Every structure is written in structure tokens, then in C-alpha cells.
Structure 1
Amino acid sequence: MIGQSIARYAASRPAQTAVEYSDRSISWQELHESINLRRKQLHAAAGPFFQKQIALALQDPLEQLYMFFAVVSGGGIAVPVDETLDNDSIASFLFSSRPALFIADTDAAGLAVPSLTLADIIGAGAQASVPAAFCEETELFYGACTSGSSGTPKACLRSHRSWLKSFEADKQLFPFQEKERVLITGRLSHSLFLYGAVRMLEYGHTVILPVRHSPRVFARMVVKQQVTVLYAVPTTLRWLLRHSSSPSPSVRLIITGGEKWFPADNQKIFARFPTAALYEFYGSAETSFISALNHRAEQVSPSCTGRLFPMVEAESSPDTGELVVTSPFLFSGYAEDESLSYPRSVATGDIGFVDEEGFLYITGRRSGKIVSRGRNIYSEEIEQVLMSHPNVEQAVVFGVPDAFEGEKIAALYTGNVIAHDLHVHCRQWLPAYKLPVCLQIDLLPVLGNGKINRLRVQKYYEALSKENGNDD
């Protein structure tokens, strides 16, 4: 089951490094012992809530990793919570996802669930022997939070099998080698980065966790610690390109996902990482992997997300065009539901199709559909045109309510180009009815996982419009 391989590595290679964090190197033996200790302490402190659904919001990534494995190895369900969320957002998430217990760094009063601090657990002692639980593949172990980029986050519950099958599939697809040194550039409260850390530990690689999350820190770590594999969302990769230009030949593999990577940036990223393969995967918290694209080896249209992952089937709904996915990686249901659904297929919310060669194309997203003057317009198409301008760094497109048009097409962007020139660029590729009203901004609002916060984007646009006298 998930995490059991750590005990094997602790026996076969006890002194070798499993995790690096700050100036510490944690061996496989120390990692195994730390997880066992936290499991015993958790058992003593949690009482009847042990082996239940337990939410975690811890600032220290090492403690987050220890506690995750402690909960899972004890037979419970770990639900990491974004520790950067404000108290009201955390309270709302806990109310909807209904864990049995919440563990945080500090006292959390007024919550809908019982809570403990990390100090409470460490201080509870560990006299009792609490062996690791025996779990079936079908049992639940993890609650992955949806990104919250366009709504309130939800917890997607997953079985051991869903991740074990994902491990098998990405081993077939990604060109991993022996003894990789893997930099995880995001917080372990987000599924992409937790998955990357757990998956690489599962196969005996060294996982490197940053003390601070900034492009300058990542750039230094890549060089100093001779990173070979990089897990990062596209926003982080673009930050790296802005803050460092020195080539890093040690990186052989970059895995990115969570939002769209634009091929227009390929030349820059391959100059920065001259020996790296860049794999962009498409998926969601509910589906895990759906497809992957090797940007160095395959040149396709911007709407193509790559070939379907091993073990994945996908088809378009004949009525709506919505993509429906069937795979062994699917989630088991939402934590807030009264009963689990254990779906065999999941409708993704994306409009798309698979061609004869197994390439998947996404032409729009139902939640990103803009209805302007009676026409259905998808923001992704316009974002791709904006991002194809060489001086645009980031862009996001959305609909703004309008009395005449129904919705007005609006865009916020960052980069060194004035709105007029960007409008001229768009006219080369888009019909007049798809041309957005563009406003330049210094920084786009992002979530803790680095993805653009689409809920806040529209508020930013409305505030900027009022400042510029365009409040119509």
C-alpha cells in the first residue's frame, strides 16, 4: 500500500538520503522511524479519531510529510489543507468536508470539528506500540483538495489503488532513471506536489523540499543540489524563466500540469534547461492523469493536451461534447457527500475529443464558457492567442456581465506590451466578436499552488476598470 516501500528502503539502504530539507538530509531509516513515532503519538493523542479522516495544515513540509504517512500507515485518511488559506476559508472547507479531526500548528478555535496542535500530538508520548495497519487496495487513504481556482475547494477521496495504478502508468510514460534528485516546487497540501513527493519516494528517489517558495530559491537549489527532476506548475516555470537565465544541464525531466503550458515558451524553457524533456499532463483532482504531452518530442496545436495516459479511455458526450474519462485512477467520491459514488467514469467539464492517433484535444471548458451576443466562446482559445505574443508572460480571459452583450470578453495580462499592440496582435488570429478588452497588471492573483485564482481575477478587473473610468 501507499508508504509501505519506505520500510523496505529503511532495511535495505538505511543510511542513504530519502529527503533533503534546508540543511538536513533525512535518511531512509530516519524517515521510517519519524513516521512510526508520529503514528504512535497520533494514536495516543487522537483517541477515537485515530484511523478516521484527519485534516492537516502544517507549515513545515517535513512534518506535513511525516504526519501524512503517519495517518495513512495507521489506516486513516489524510486530508492536507492549504496552510496559506485564511481562517474563514479553512473553517468553510472543514465544515463541508467533515473530517473527524483537524491538526494545525496553532490552536484553532470555533471550528466545526475537533482540533489538535502538532505540539499536542508530540507531547502525548508514544508508549504504546502501534504497528502499521494492513490495508486493502480498495480502501481510502487520501483526500485531495480541488484547486479552488473557480470555486470553493472540495476533498476528493482516493483509494490506495488509484495512486498505485498511477505509479505504474507514469513509470511507463516518464523517462525516470535510477537515483533521481527531485525538486518539489509547491506545497505538499496540493495534490500535484504531494503526489510527486510520494511517488518518487515509492521508487527510492531523493526528494528535495524548499524552505521558501520563490523562483530565486528554486533557481539556486537546482544548481546547488544538482536536481534531475523538477515538479512545477506552469506559472512557477515562467517565474523561473524571468528570474534566472543560466542553463541548468542537470535537469533531465520537468513534469508540469494544473494549468496550460503554452508552446510559445518552449524555446525559452529549453534554453534554460537544455537537456530536459518537458512533459505537460492534463487531468484533475477527480481523474488524476488523463493525457500527457512531451513538448520536446511532439509539436502539436495549442489545443492538444497530448496522448492519452496508459490505462485511460476517453470519449466525447454526443449531446454536449463534454469529455468523459474512464480509468483506474479515478477518485471514489467527495468527502462531503453522504455516500461515496465510486464512479467508473467521470465527466471532466471540458469540451474535447480524441483523434485516431490517441491525441486528446480540449477546445473549451464548460465553466469557462462565455456567452456573448448569443455566441458560445471559450476562454482557452483566446488565452492561447494572447500567450502567443512574445512579450506576454501570463494572461487570463473571462466574461464580465454586460447589459448589451450578455457577457463582455475581458482579459488581464502581465508582460511588456501595451494593450493597443496586444489588440492588434489578437486581430490577426481572432474574429471581431472574440476580441477581448485587455488590461495590463503587474501580477495576476494566484492560489497557494501557483495556479491563477480565477475568482479574484474578475474582481481585479472590475476594480481596475473603475480606476480607469471604464465602469460601464
Structure 2
Amino acid sequence: MNTAMFLSIPASMFPEQEILVFEGRRFDYQSLQDRVNRLAGGLKALGLGRSDRLAVLQTNCNEYVEAYYAASKLGLVFIPLNYRAKLDELRYMLTDSEATAVMVGDRYVELIEKLRPELGSVRVYISIGSEWPGMVRYEELLGAEAEEVEAEVDDGDLNVLMYTSGTTALPKGVMLTYGDFSEYVLNSVEPADGTDRGSFLLAVPLYHIAGLTSIMTNIYTGRRLVMLAQFEPGLWLKTVERERITHAFVVPTMLKRILDHPDFDSTDLSSLQILSYGAAPMPLPVIRRAIERFPKTVGFINAFGQTETTSTVTVLGPEDHRLEGPPEEVEKKLRRLSSIGRPLPDVELKIVDEAGNELPPGQVGEIAIRSARVMKGYWKREAETAQTLAGGWIRTRDMGWVDEDGYVYLAGRKSDMIIRGGENIAPEEVEAVLHTHPAVDEAAVFGVPDEEWGERVAAAVVLKPGMQATAEELIEYCRQRLASFKKPELIFFVESLPRNPMGKVLKKDLRQTFASRVGSL
């Protein structure tokens, strides 16, 4: 199924229903579909067709949404680029992807101009916004004859080439097909039926899988999509109140900043029904604080997934976030708040050892996923694809375990596991303890080289404003709550933790920063 139909189908049935809002601009289905068709016609007039690849470098905007649907309509491969990427990273992604057209926002034109002499595969440059020499202006393309018909595609045809954040190495191009997105959308939402399905606030970037799938699901189901160019907690709060937002998705760092904002208590959040979160581990104190401070009518959902699995594969639903009932029930729910929930109906999940053997409940291993919507593979990385897609299962590189009730718990990235004297230590278990200390705001646990033990457990800690704690105090705090070999041996106090754009802590940076210090201790 051509994913452009997730817009054209509801547009044909409910043309006057408002479906997209961005910075004061409001689009009903008909106006959005019309712009998509004319953009597709403009791209076609530039000579772009089935063998071409359209890269976009811009913050969230309505043009970004239009570009995705126009590219899909023509059968182009869509390449959303991380607008926070450095020059070398952009060079790599644009050359590796073999992009033939680049659509760029004003603030990123200078970067693209620096790279232009090296981008031999790019034939067409399109500017979103101002007029630039050697570039076709986006709005000029909308003057073309509209392209009404979606290209015929197979489910296995490449729809999106999405580059991972590259927390450990160069970004990898994840190949996602029309079939992958169709499976996800059709299994996630019901088609639009003209009823009011509320409003979804999108504040995560569209180069992330959570952003792109949010466009598809909400537009197809008829839930008005309200977009922010970039996340800012004060603007997020104002938008929820002004637009009467019913649904939203945030990453943990965003949720913490929302809760910390001085306008939180004075903002009317009564319209909010569902607040989903994911993309990085959620510290238990942050989600508990959110449950306490948001209106009791808000249902929280922890959605865990990867680019490679076309977004969400497990969910911890609203009922598991309601800390109500008998003491033993509340205690069980508190434990489950640290989990990522259970697999969705279209997903099979198991925990495996290095050899791929399934492990019993309670044992830590690698999370493996089987679903009709896992990636086609990594672009130009056949060996890595073969390793990751083994026997029909995708090896996620996320370590975890499953309890007796089928709830899945993360134990950290495979590359982040600490091996001390032959014992495996999950960083997230140690971090969870540190986060319960009253003086700790944030903590990241990682391994540093050690001649005797192989690795030692280290922690980078951000203290809460006005609070104090010593390294010895935090080490003893952990010793009382963990097996002795798991406690941190080294504590480094820092002002902030290095993160990628989606809030994941860059532990490789911490290891590099502090490994040399350890050698001098």
C-alpha cells in the first residue's frame, strides 16, 4: 500500500475537516492534499521519479509533512536528516544515501552550500523559505500541475531511509518499506470516520521514527495534528492549553523540563487525555512526579520501540500507571513503572543469549523481536544486516529481562553492559538506585577499564540545585541497596550529561572523558 493513501483516503471523505496546525497556519484535509499533489507535480517536473531520493534538512513544519506525502506519492525514497548533525555527519549521510534532491530550510542553507561541491549525486536543491542562488524555491513548485495519482508500489519497496542517531558509531541508514509503515499504521489506529478524535501535539523531530509515524497515524485516523518547530517547555504548555490538546508524545528529558517549568501549575491541562513517552529510559522519580502533578484524568503510556522496528513494539498502558488499590497492588505497579510493558499484538518478543537461545523469565539477555514491520536492513551494510536479522528475528542490541507476567524490563544497551570480574552489571539497575537518592537529579552509569577486574563501575552524577552529596555517601547508598559488586566505585560530579537529540545519554562520551582520569587515580 502506498503510504500517501493515509492522507488521500481521509481527504476524499472529509475534505473540510481541520487536520494540521503549524505556527498559526491551519490546513483541512482538502488544502493539505492539494498542496501535496501540487508539490508532487513540481518534483515530477524537475525530473524526479522512482529511482530518486529526496533528503530533507529542516525543523518541523508543514512543508516537511507535505514533502513526505509527495515523495511517497511519486515513489521517491524519503530521507529525513537530523538538523542537529555536524557538517561531517551531514556529509556522510548525504553521500552514503546517494540523495538526488535536497530540500533545505533557511538556517541550514550555509551548511549545504559548504558540502555542495562534494555531493555529486545531488541534481536538485530546493529551499524552504527564502530564495537562494542555485536553488528552486519550495513555493514555486506548488505552481505546477497537480499529481493526483499515487505511484504503484510493492510492500517491499523502500519508502524511507532513516539514519540512526549514531550513539556508538557513524549513523546507519535503516531501510523502511511501504509495507513496514502500512503494517504499523493499520495495526495502530482506526481510519477517520468524521468524528472528533481530539488533537495530537507533536514536538519531537520528524527525522525521528516517533515523529514520522505520528504524522501517519494521526492524519489517517482523523486526529488533528498540532506541530511545534522545536520543543520548548513553555511553548508546549501554552499549546496544550490554547489548542485543547488531548494526546501528546514526549521523551523523558522533555517531560522533566515540562514539570520543572514555572508555568506548569498555572497551565490548564484539563484537555489532556493521553501522554505517551519513550525514545529513552524514563527515570522512575520523573514519571512518579508526572503522575502526581498532571491531572488525574491523564493516562500515561510508555511506548518502547526502535527505528529498526518501525516504532513501538511494547507498551506499558494507562492502567499500569494508576498507583491505586491495595498496598500490594500499588507496590506491584511501582515495580512495573520501571518496565517497558508488554509486546503489542503484532509483535513477538523473546530474551536470548549470545547464541540466540531463549532465556527463561528473570534472566538478562538481548531483546529479540519478530514482526511483519521490522526493517528491510541497513543500507549498504549487508554483514551487519545479516547479524541483526538472524533467523527472522531482529536482535535489538537492547539488553533486558521478562518477569513472570510478561512485562519487559530494560537492562541497558548491549554495548553499555559492564563486565566486572566476569559478572555482568546492568547500568540501568544501578542508575535506578541512584535516582532514588534525594540529592541526585540525574545519573549515568558506565564501565571504565581496570587491569584487575576488566572494568570498574563508574557513575556521572548531576545533583539537584542547592543539594549536596559526597562520592562516598552515594557509593554507600548503593552498597546498601545492591549486590556489593554492582555498586559504583567511582563517582564523577558533572553539571550535565551528554545526550543525543532524543535525550539518550551518550555513554561512549562519558567513557572517553573519564577513562583517562581513572588511570591517574
What TM-score do you get using the length of structure 2 for normalisation?
Answer: 0.81
Residues 60 and 267 of structure 1: is their aligned pair in 2 closer, same or farther, counting only changes over 3 Å? closer
1:158 positional shift? 1.3
Deviations 1:119-140 (A, max 9, x none): 3343467545533212233332
- Aligned partner of residue 304 in structure 1, secondary structure: coil
The one of 258, 277, 289 equivalent to 1:240 is 258
1:415 matches 2:463 = yes
Alignment gaps of 5+ in structure 2: 128-134, 323-332, 357-364
2:443–2:462 Cα contact (<8 Å) kept: yes
1:197 matches 2:215 = yes
CA distance in 2, matches of 1:153, 1:53: 18
1:151 matches 2:159 = no
1:448 positional shift? 2.2
Residues 96 and 413 of structure 1: is their aligned pair in 2 closer, same or farther, counting only changes over 3 Å? farther
Deviations 1:367-402 (A, max 9, x none): 111122333222121112122334433222112223
1:296 matches 2:321 = yes
2:247–2:275 Cα contact (<8 Å) kept: yes
1:456 positional shift? 3.1
Q: Pairwise mapping of residues 34-433 of structure 1 onto structure 2 (< 5 A)?
A: 34-45=35-46, 47=47, 51-105=51-105, 106=109, 107=113, 108-109=115-116, 110-111=118-119, 113-114=121-122, 116-119=124-127, 120-121=135-136, 122=138, 123=140, 127=144, 130=147, 131-171=149-189, 178-244=196-262, 245-246=264-265, 248-274=269-295, 275-287=297-309, 288-294=311-317, 295-297=320-322, 298-301=333-336, 304-318=339-353, 319=355, 321-337=365-381, 344-416=392-464, 417=467, 418-420=469-471, 421-433=473-485
1:280 positional shift? 0.8
CA distance in 1, matches of 2:36, 2:510: 40
Deviations 1:36-95 (A, max 9, x none): 1221122222x2565533222123522221111111111112110101111111112233
Residues 206 and 127 of structure 1: is their aligned pair in 2 closer, same or farther, counting only changes over 3 Å? closer
1:205 positional shift? 0.9
Report the AA paired with residue 269 of structure 1: A
1:299 positional shift? 4.0
Report the AA paired with residue 474 of structure 2: L
More off after superposition, 297-306 vs 88-97: 297-306
CA distance in 1, matches of 2:204, 2:142: 32
More off after superposition, 298-307 vs 190-199: 298-307
More off after superposition, 95-104 vs 189-198: 95-104
Alignment gaps of 5+ in structure 1: none
Deviations 1:180-220 (A, max 9, x none): 21111211111112211221111111111113422222122
1:462 positional shift? 5.8
More off after superposition, 66-75 vs 453-462: 453-462
1:229 positional shift? 0.7
1:392–1:415 Cα contact (<8 Å) kept: yes
2:38–2:144 Cα contact (<8 Å) kept: no
Residues 169 and 454 of structure 1: is their aligned pair in 2 closer, same or farther, counting only changes over 3 Å? farther
Q: Percent identity?
A: 23
CA distance in 1, matches of 2:188, 2:9: 22
Residues 125 and 185 of structure 1: is their aligned pair in 2 closer, same or farther, counting only changes over 3 Å? closer
CA distance in 2, matches of 1:93, 1:368: 25
Q: Runs of 4+ in structure 1 displaced over 6 angstroms? A: 339-343
Residue 434 (structure 1) aligns with: 486
Q: CA RMSD in A?
A: 2.8
1:267 positional shift? 3.0
CA distance in 2, matches of 1:113, 1:86: 20
Report the AA paired with residue 80 of structure 1: P
1:251–1:273 Cα contact (<8 Å) kept: no
Residue 131 (structure 2) aligns with: none
CA distance in 2, matches of 1:267, 1:362: 18
Residue 21 (structure 1) aligns with: 22
1:233–1:451 Cα contact (<8 Å) kept: no
- Aligned partner of residue 501 in structure 2, secondary structure: coil
2:339–2:407 Cα contact (<8 Å) kept: yes
CA distance in 2, matches of 1:352, 1:242: 30
- Aligned partner of residue 300 in structure 1, secondary structure: helix
1:386–1:392 Cα contact (<8 Å) kept: yes
Residue 451 (structure 1) aligns with: 504
Residues 462 and 208 of structure 1: is their aligned pair in 2 closer, same or farther, counting only changes over 3 Å? farther
Residues 338 and 98 of structure 1: is their aligned pair in 2 closer, same or farther, counting only changes over 3 Å? farther
Residues 419 and 2 of structure 1: is their aligned pair in 2 closer, same or farther, counting only changes over 3 Å? farther
1:269 positional shift? 0.4
1:331 positional shift? 0.8
Report the AA paired with residue 425 of structure 1: Y
1:353 positional shift? 4.0
- Aligned partner of residue 304 in structure 2, secondary structure: strand
1:51–1:71 Cα contact (<8 Å) kept: no
Deviations 1:390-426 (A, max 9, x none): 4433222112223444323222232324243433332
- Aligned partner of residue 286 in structure 1, secondary structure: helix
2:39–2:70 Cα contact (<8 Å) kept: yes
Residues 127 and 259 of structure 1: is their aligned pair in 2 closer, same or farther, counting only changes over 3 Å? closer
CA distance in 2, matches of 1:189, 1:351: 25
Report the AA paired with residue 351 of structure 1: M
Report the AA paired with residue 206 of structure 1: R
What TM-score do you get using the length of structure 1 for normalisation?
Answer: 0.89
1:103–1:115 Cα contact (<8 Å) kept: no
CA distance in 2, matches of 1:428, 1:226: 47
1:79–1:155 Cα contact (<8 Å) kept: no
Aligned length: 463
Residues 323 and 312 of structure 1: is their aligned pair in 2 closer, same or farther, counting only changes over 3 Å? same
